A and B are shown apart, each in its own frame.
Chain A
Amino acid sequence: MSYDCRVRMARRLLWIPVVLHLALCGIVGYQQEGLDFGKMYFATRDGKLYALNPASTEVRVEGRVVHHRNLNPPQMFLLVEPLAAWPIEVAWPVWVSLQVLVSAMLVRWVFLRRFGSGSPPAP
């Protein structure tokens, strides 16, 4: 196996822990009512934008309870409205997939603008 071939294979293998890590994050987020997305989702679904909801979390600091509340402005919830019609088990993966897709598109857009192709130039 040539050196180039080994380097290419190593680069591809490097993606495995990245994908596994992201999948793990996704599973944890899914099990915890969608965490921050859950706050937005329940707020939109129930029509109570800033009330405590099933995804709200709380911690204690020196005996005082602190609630992590939703801090997004009202117009942001318009983005979540289309998903609020679905159960969170469906809405959450759709939302996260959209974010991953949008992230990849953003990076690809920069490469396209810079090099005229969607990936870094070959050495």
Chain B
Amino acid sequence: MSATVLLGQWGALLAWPVTAFWWLGRSGRWFAAGLWLGFAISLKLFLAPLSGWCLLRRDARVAVLGSLLGATAAVALGAAVYGPFAYLEWINQLRSVSWYWGVTNASVWGWIARTWSPSPYFTAVAHLPISWVYGLSIALSTIVGVISLLRAQHVDVDQAVALLVIASLWCSPLGWIYYGWLALPPVLWLWLDGRLPPLLVLAGAVLLLWSPLPIFGWLSVRGVQTGWWSFTLGSAYFWGLTAFLLAAYYARPTNGVSRGNAPVSSAEEVSNPLGGARKSLIHLGALQ
């Protein structure tokens, strides 16, 4: 929220199409879900792995068609208003990116860039050749991306979407933390269901909440200029996102019955009105 207010970013607005994808998907309306996903991918390319997951999931393959249509419609609209050459310019901009070390880049690329290459704000542990920095980033993001995709095949839609959105951000070259909003609804849902490991959630929340504090900025820019600071608390957004990635990966299965394809029924709400939410809230001290 700090980054949203300070920078004027629009992660919360962008979270709505992703939420629509998740919600329509869990109720089995995959084509409509795909349309929303395509719209979201056209705005942020790092969400493309979600389309790959739909392709691997037998019942969700129609979402790939929907996402192609959604993305095409959004691009066509942009091209109609601003002209097709605007897209060539945009692609050139993407190719010219070199500022992976940005403080709010919570991805593994950001962490590696801050720790192993020169940057204006951080001191590197050591300066590696740029090919090593890129190679290491590509290798780690590929490994984690594949593991997350494989895991998402065997869990319900809630957990899969939460895991894949976080993993997409974690693996993206520019995984700005303010796009964490995209994962918030399914993550919040899992947490309210009491399915996320509380210690990982607590660690992730503390790390993410500490970073916007003025003392953090001061320490990063003027204070603790050591490689180990860059490696550890200087990259608190990365570690916080990693904690949530692990939390989504290790989320507990639903009580024997996956409700991944259907919303919670009113009968279920009546019989178990609080689910695991109260337990989670109590555990984290939100309730007395």
What residues on A are CB-neighbors of B267 within 8 Å? none
A78 to B42, CA, bound (A): 13
Interface string of A70-91 (1 = CB under 8 A from B): 1111111111000000000000
Given A29-B6, A99-B5, A123 contacting B282 (CB threshold 8 A):
yes
Give A98's nearest chain B residue, CB to CB. B13
Q: In chain A, residues 58-113, which have Cβ atoms closer than 8 Å to a Cβ of chain B?
A: 59-62, 66, 68-79, 92, 95-96, 98-100, 102-103, 106-107, 109-111, 113
A123 to B120, CA, bound (A): 48
Give A97's nearest chain B residue, CB to CB. B5
Shortest C-beta distance, B69 to chain A (Å), equals: 15
Q: Give the size range of B's interface with the partner.
A: 35 or more
Q: CB distance B96 to A69 under 8 Å?
A: yes
A4 to B23, CA, bound (A): 36
Shortest C-beta distance, A54 to chain B (Å), equals: 14
The answer, yes or no, to whether B206 is at the interface (CB within 8 Å) is no
Name the one of B7, B97, B185 contacting A37, with C-beta atoms under 8 angstroms: B7
Q: CB distance B15 to A106 under 8 Å?
A: yes
Q: CB distance B86 to A21 under 8 Å?
A: no
Interface residues of B, Cβ cutoff 8 Å to A? 1-2, 4-10, 12-13, 15-16, 19, 23, 42-43, 74-75, 77-79, 81-82, 86-87, 89-90, 92-94, 96-99, 118-120, 174, 181, 184-185, 188-189, 192, 212, 263-264, 269, 273-275, 277-278, 281-282, 286-288
Q: CB distance B6 to A25 under 8 Å?
A: yes
Most buried by B among A74, A111, A114: A74
Give B6's nearest chain A residue, CB to CB. A25
Name the one of B97, B120, B264, B281 contacting A59, with C-beta atoms under 8 angstroms: B120
What residues on B are CB-neighbors of A37 within 8 Å? 7-10
Q: CB distance A73 to B78 under 8 Å?
A: yes
Name the one of A3, A71, A73 contacting B174, with C-beta atoms under 8 angstroms: A71
Shortest C-beta distance, A25 to chain B (Å), equals: 4
Q: CB distance B5 to A29 under 8 Å?
A: yes
Q: In chain A, residues 1-25, which have Cβ atoms closer than 8 Å to a Cβ of chain B?
A: 3-4, 7, 21-22, 25
Most buried by A among B81, B89, B90: B90
Name the one of B43, B89, B277 contacting A115, with C-beta atoms under 8 angstroms: B277
Q: CB distance B89 to A50 under 8 Å?
A: yes
Could you tell me the dominant secondary structure of chain B's interface residues? helix
What residues on A are CB-neighbors of B189 within 8 Å? 110, 113-114
A96 to B9, CA, bound (A): 8
What residues on A are CB-neighbors of B277 within 8 Å? 114-115, 120-121
Q: CB distance B90 to A73 under 8 Å?
A: yes
A84 to B188, CA, bound (A): 34
Shortest C-beta distance, A36 to chain B (Å), equals: 4
A111 to B273, CA, bound (A): 12
Q: CB distance A72 to B43 under 8 Å?
A: yes
Name the one of B78, B181, B264 contacting A106, with C-beta atoms under 8 angstroms: B181
Shortest C-beta distance, A24 to chain B (Å), equals: 8
What residues on B are CB-neighbors of A69 within 8 Å? 93, 96
What residues on A are CB-neighbors of B78 within 8 Å? 73-78
Given A36-B7, A99-B5, A75 contacting B188 (CB threshold 8 A):
no
